Amino acid sequence: MKEKIGIAVLVSGGGTNLQALINAEKSGALEHGHIVAVISSQRDAYALERARIAGIPGYAFVRKELGADEFERRIAETVDSSGASLIILAGFMSILSENFVKKYPDRIINIHPALIPSFCGKGYYGLRVHEEALKRGVKITGATVHFVNEIPDGGRIIMQKAVRVRDGDTPEKLQKRVMRQAEWIIYPKAAEKVCRELIEKEKNNGKVQS
């Protein structure tokens, strides 16, 4: 069997990027990664149903119920106990603390629905990114996969893909096109790239599953 990196996917909503990752693993496009846990910040997130259908263990931890410290402690505990070496944020609507991020250096990745450094940073998420892109009149937007550090959208870029803005676009239309033409394509590719790199790093310390 091929060596694989365990992946924990953090979600909050519908889980379309999670589904793209699940599909990529099933098709073999994500050949060096294996999704071992899906962790949601919302109990009613449809992403948990996607995980159930795919046979992936799902967990829900709500920050308002637990408090920030316990919320992150539960997530870290679940990530570690699942055997995951890579954390993928897929529509995870909660900013992780500096302490959490430092626990997993170069092992947390995120996708942002714009070409960083445009329309990124604190407060830029969801439809607001596309609203601002249309307000500024840009002709090209896209998506960026990047490592997560203590600065929102500030980590090293892994992969980007451009998407053309069309006349008559609404934020909702643009959001869907960026998902279809960029996010769902490059997120699995970037995950595979990072998994391969982690395997190279971990080959000699016995952490890689085979």
Q: Which domains does the chain have, with CATH numbers?
A: 5-202 (3.40.50.170)
pLDDT computed for residue 38 by the predictor: 98
- H or E element at residue 192: helix 184-202
What pTM was estimated for this model as a whole? 0.93
pLDDT of 202: 75
pLDDT of residue 205: 67
Q: Which residues does the chain have with pLDDT short of 50?
A: 1, 208-210
* Per-residue confidence (pLDDT) for residue 203, from 0 to 100: 78
Write the CB contacts of 4 (distance below 8 Å, at least 6 apart in sequence). Answer: 32, 33, 34, 195, 208, 209, 210
Q: Which helix (H) or strand (E) holds 75?
A: helix 68-82
Query: For 119-172, how does the pLDDT look when each residue is reduced to its tens digit (9 = 90+)?
Result: 998 888 889 999 999 999 999 999 999 999 988 889 999 999 999 999 999 999
Amino acid 152: pLDDT: 86
pLDDT value, residue 1: 44
Coil/strand/helix, residue 5: strand
Catalytically active residues are 112
What is the reported pLDDT for 210? 43
